[in-house]
Amino acid sequence: MPPDIRNFFGGGSQKPSTAAKKASDNPAPKKKRGRKVVDDSDDEEITETKPKKAELEKAKSKKEKPQPKIEETTSSEYFASNSKAKTSKSTPIRAKPHENKTTRNVDTTPSKPRATNGATPSSRRSTRNIPARKYADNETDDKARVLDDDEEGNDDIHADEFARKIRNGQDDYEESDESHGSPIRHKARTANGTQKQVKVPTKLKPEAGAEMSGAAGYDAPGEAKSAKEKLTAPSTAGRKRKSKSAELEEDDFLEEDEVPKKRARKTPTKATAKKATKREEKEESKEMQAIFDSIPTVRAPTPPARDPNNKYQYNANQHHAPPPGAGSKVPPTGAENCLAGLTFVFTGVLDTLEREEGQALVKRHGGKVTTGPSSKTSYVVLGNDAGPKKLETIAKLKLKTINEDGLFELIRRLPPNGGDSKAAEKHAEKNEKEEKAIREAAAEMERTDREAAKAKAAMKVGQDGHRVTSSASSQQRKAPAADSRLWTDKYAPTAVSMVCGNKGQVEKLQNWLRKWHNNAKYHFKKAGPDGSGVFRAAMIHGPPGIGKTTAAHLVAKLEGFDIVESNASDTRSKKLVEDGLRGVLDTTSLLGYFSGDGKKVEASKRKLVLIMDEVDGMSAGDRGGVGALAAVAKKTSVPMILICNERRLPKMKPFDFVTWDVPFRRPTADMIRARLKTICYREGMDLPASVLDALIEGSHSDIRQIINMISTTKLDRQTMDFDDGKAMSKAWEKHVILKPWDIVGKILKSQMFAPSSTATLNDKIELYFNDHEFSYLMLQENYLKTQPALINNYSGRERNLKLLEFADKAASSISDGDLVDRMIHGTQQQWSLMPTHAVFSFVRPASYMYGNFGERVGFVSWLGQNSKSGKLSRYVKEMQGHMRLRASGDRHEIRQQYMPLLWQKTVKVLQDKGKEKVPEVIDLMDSYFLTKEDYDAMIELGLGPMSEDNVKIDSQAKATFTRMYNAQSHPLPFMKASSVVAPKAAKKVKPDLEDAIDESDGEELLAENEVKEDEEEDVDLKKDKYIKAPKKKHAAKGAAKSAPKGKKRGKKAADEGGDEVGDEVDDSESEEEVKKPKKGAARGGRKGKGKA
Amino acid sequence: MALLVDKLRPRSLDALTYHPDLSSRLSALASSADFPHTLFYGPSGAGKKTRILALLRSIYGAGVEKIKIDARVFATSTGRKLEFNIVSSVYHLEITPSDVGNHDRVVIQELLKEVAQTQQVDLNARQRFKVVVINEADSLTRDAQAALRRTMEKYSANVRLILLANSTAGIIAPIRSRTLLIRVPAPTEPEICAVLHHATATQKWKHIPALNERIARESGRNLRRALLMLEAVYATTPDPTEKTAIPPPDWEMLIAQIADDIIAERSPKQILVVRAKLYDLLTHCIPPTMVIKTLCWKLVDRVDAELKPEMVRWAAFYEHRIKLGSKVIFHLEAYVAKVMRVYEMFYAGMGLDLD
Name all domains of chain A by residue range, CATH numbers in brackets: 2-274 (no CATH), 285-305+323-462 (3.40.50.10190), 496-663 (3.40.50.300), 669-731 (1.10.8.60), 740-859 (1.20.272.10), 992-1092 (no CATH)
pLDDT band of residue B44 (cuts 50, 70, 90) is confident
Task: Give the nearest partner residue to B271 out of A784, A1025, A1031, using CB atoms.
Answer: A784
Of the spans A43-57, A784-798, A807-821, which averages the highest pLDDT? A807-821
Q: What one-character-per-residue DSSP string does A66-108 give?
A: -----HHHHHHHHHHTHHHHHHGGGS-TTHHHHHHHHHHHHHH
The answer to whether the CB atoms of A804 and B267 lie below 8 A apart is yes
> Higher confidence at residue A233 or residue A610?
A610
The predicted structure's pLDDT at residue B328: 92
Which residues of chain B lie closer than 8 angstroms to A886, CB-CB? 2, 6
Q: Which of A289-293, A643-647, A834-838 has the lowest mean pLDDT?
A: A289-293
The answer to whether the CB atoms of A941 and B285 lie below 8 A apart is yes
Is 70 exceeded by the pLDDT of residue B275? Answer: yes
A886 touching B (Cβ < 8 Å): yes
A&B contacts, CB < 8 Å: 219
User: CA of B127, closest CA in chain A: separation in Å?
Assistant: 23
The predicted structure's pLDDT at residue B271: 94
The predicted structure's pLDDT at residue A1031: 41
Which residues of chain A lie closer than 8 angstroms to B5, CB-CB? 887
Cα A75 vs. chain centroid, distance in angstroms? 58
A852 touching B (Cβ < 8 Å): no
Which residues of chain A lie closer than 8 angstroms to B102, CB-CB? none
User: CA of B271, closest CA in chain A: separation in Å?
Assistant: 8
In 3D space, the residue among A92, A423, A90, A431 whose CA is nearest the CA of residue A289 turns out to be A423
Which residues of chain A lie closer than 8 angstroms to B267, CB-CB? 800, 803-804
In terms of DSSP H, where are the helices of A205-325? 206-219, 227-246, 252-261, 266-284, 286-294
Chain A residues 930-989 with CB within 8 Å of chain B: 941-947, 973-978
Which residues of chain A lie closer than 8 angstroms to B257, CB-CB? 944
Q: Which of A39-48, A725-734, B116-125 has the lowest mean pLDDT?
A: A39-48
Task: Give the nearest partner residue to A900 out of B1, B250, B280, using CB atoms.
Answer: B250
The answer to whether the CB atoms of B68 and A784 lie below 8 A apart is no
Is 70 exceeded by the pLDDT of residue A981? Answer: no
The answer to whether the CB atoms of A865 and B282 lie below 8 A apart is yes
A901 touching B (Cβ < 8 Å): yes
Which residues of chain A lie closer than 8 angstroms to B222, CB-CB? 897
Contacts of A719 (CB under 8 A, 6+ apart): A685, A686, A687
The answer to whether the CB atoms of A884 and B87 lie below 8 A apart is yes
The answer to whether the CB atoms of B333 and A811 lie below 8 A apart is yes
Chain A residues 789-848 with CB within 8 Å of chain B: 797, 800-801, 803-805, 807-808, 810-812, 814-815, 817-819, 821-822, 825-826
In 3D space, the residue among A143, A73, A146 whose CA is nearest the CA of residue A111 turns out to be A143
DSSP bridge partners of B71: B85
User: CA of B119, closest CA in chain A: separation in Å?
Assistant: 21
Which residues of chain B lie closer than 8 angstroms to A905, CB-CB? 3, 235
The predicted structure's pLDDT at residue A196: 42
The answer to whether the CB atoms of A901 and B232 lie below 8 A apart is yes
Which residues of chain B lie closer than 8 angstroms to A803, CB-CB? 267-268
pLDDT band of residue B313 (cuts 50, 70, 90) is very high
The predicted structure's pLDDT at residue A396: 80
pLDDT tens digit sequence for B236-263: 888 888 888 888 888 999 999 999 999 9
SS3 letters for A388-406? HHHHHHHHHHCCEEECHHH
> Higher confidence at residue A42 or residue B134?
B134
Question: Residue B36 carries which side chain, given as an amino acid letter?
Answer: P
pLDDT band of residue A1055 (cuts 50, 70, 90) is very low
Is 90 exceeded by the pLDDT of residue B293? Answer: yes
pLDDT tens digit sequence for A482-514: 567 788 888 888 777 778 788 888 888 888 888
Which residues of chain B lie closer than 8 angstroms to A899, CB-CB? 249-250
Which residues of chain B lie closer than 8 angstroms to A892, CB-CB? 285, 287, 290
Cα(A545)–Cα(A431) distance, rounded to whole angstroms? 26
Cα atoms in the Cβ-side hemisphere of radius 13 Å centred on A1036: 22
Which residues of chain A lie closer than 8 angstroms to B286, CB-CB? 895-896, 943
A1027 touching B (Cβ < 8 Å): yes
The predicted structure's pLDDT at residue A463: 53
Question: Residue B171 carries which side chain, given as an amino acid letter?
Answer: I
The answer to whether the CB atoms of B66 and A973 lie below 8 A apart is no
Closest residue of chain B to A975, computed from CA coordinates? B71
The answer to whether the CB atoms of B66 and A945 lie below 8 A apart is no
Cβ atoms B75, B81 nearer than 8 A: yes
Task: Give the nearest partner residue to B68 out of A801, A861, A1027, using CB atoms.
Answer: A1027
Is 50 exceeded by the pLDDT of residue A238? Answer: no
The answer to whether the CB atoms of B268 and A876 lie below 8 A apart is no
Return the ∠ at Cα A391 (arms to A388 and A397), rounded to 5°: 145
User: CA of B126, closest CA in chain A: separation in Å?
Assistant: 23
A1092 touching B (Cβ < 8 Å): no
From first CA to last CA, the distance across chain B in angstroms is 59
Closest residue of chain B to A884, computed from CA coordinates? B87
Is 50 exceeded by the pLDDT of residue A536? Answer: yes
The answer to whether the CB atoms of B325 and A818 lie below 8 A apart is yes
The answer to whether the CB atoms of A862 and B327 lie below 8 A apart is yes
Mean pLDDT score across all residues of chain B: 88
Cα(A1066)–Cα(A1055) distance, rounded to whole angstroms? 9
DSSP bridge partners of B275: none
Q: Is A83 exposed, middle or buried (0-12, 13-18, 19+ CB in 10 A)?
A: exposed
Cβ atoms A659, A509 nearer than 8 A: no
Please name the helix (run of DSSP H) or strand (run of DSSP E) that holds residue A346, with its range, or none. strand A343-347
Of the spans A277-286, A395-404, A845-854, which averages the highest pLDDT? A845-854
The answer to whether the CB atoms of B253 and A807 lie below 8 A apart is no
Cβ atoms A785, A854 nearer than 8 A: yes
Task: Give the nearest partner residue to A804 out of B45, B99, B341, using CB atoms.
Answer: B341
The answer to whether the CB atoms of B249 and A897 lie below 8 A apart is yes
Is 70 exceeded by the pLDDT of residue A637? Answer: yes
The predicted structure's pLDDT at residue A777: 92
pLDDT mean over B223-239? 88
In terms of DSSP H, where are the helices of chain B? 4-7, 20-31, 48-60, 104-107, 113-117, 142-154, 173-178, 189-203, 209-218, 223-236, 250-264, 268-283, 288-302, 308-324, 328-347
pLDDT mean over A837-864? 89
The answer to whether the CB atoms of B321 and A819 lie below 8 A apart is yes
Which residues of chain B lie closer than 8 angstroms to A800, CB-CB? 266-267, 344
The predicted structure's pLDDT at residue A571: 63
The answer to whether the CB atoms of B337 and A804 lie below 8 A apart is yes
Is 60 exceeded by the pLDDT of residue A698? Answer: yes
pLDDT mean over A446-451? 75
pLDDT band of residue A1033 (cuts 50, 70, 90) is very low
The predicted structure's pLDDT at residue A627: 78
User: CA of A1060, closest CA in chain B: separation in Å?
Assistant: 28
> Higher confidence at residue A207 or residue A617?
A617
Which residues of chain B lie closer than 8 angstroms to A904, CB-CB? 232, 235-236, 247
